């Protein structure tokens, strides 16, 4: 089965990101395809490379980055939600006149059309968080 994944909550204030990660990992291990993982609303906070959790805690951002690298996943961050929360890739930082970017490896910023495409191309769009 081909899945699209929508993550609407940040990595540490809600269970949604952990659940989305575990679902995605399990689906891949069972041979399913993940068309795209789209991060929206506070879910865009899963893509900041500046997250530094305590050593005894899980690093959700690194988990997503590693899973993307292992399985060539398309991790897309909503541009409007990202900008509202101060999350920028190199191109957006330049375009907005900012002196730094903070997007983690394996993630990319794009628009809501990527979510619509995921819904069309996937057999199921699984939503995590409100």
Cα(92)–Cα(109) distance, integer angstroms: 9
Cα(75)–Cα(73) distance, integer angstroms: 6
78 catalytic? Reply is yes
Pick the catalytic residue from 6, 73, 77, 78: 78
What helix, strand, coil percent values describe the chain, rounded to 5?
A: 40, 20, 35
Q: Which residues are catalytic?
A: 78
């Amino acid at each position: 089965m081909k899945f699209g994944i929508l993550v609407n909550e940040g990595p540490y204030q809600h269970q949604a990101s952990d659940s989305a990660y575990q679902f995605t990992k399990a689906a891949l291990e069972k041979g399913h395809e993940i068309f795209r993982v789209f991060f929206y609303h506070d879910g865009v906070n899963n893509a900041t490379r500046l997250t530094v959790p305590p050593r005894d805690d899980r690093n959700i951002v690194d988990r997503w980055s590693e899973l993307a690298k292992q399985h060539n996943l398309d991790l897309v961050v909503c541009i409007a939600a990202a900008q509202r929360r101060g999350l920028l890739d190199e191109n957006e930082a330049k375009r907005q006149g900012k002196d730094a970017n903070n997007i983690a490896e394996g993630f990319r910023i794009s628009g809501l059309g990527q979510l619509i495409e995921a819904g069309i191309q996937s057999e199921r769009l699984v939503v995590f968080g409100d």
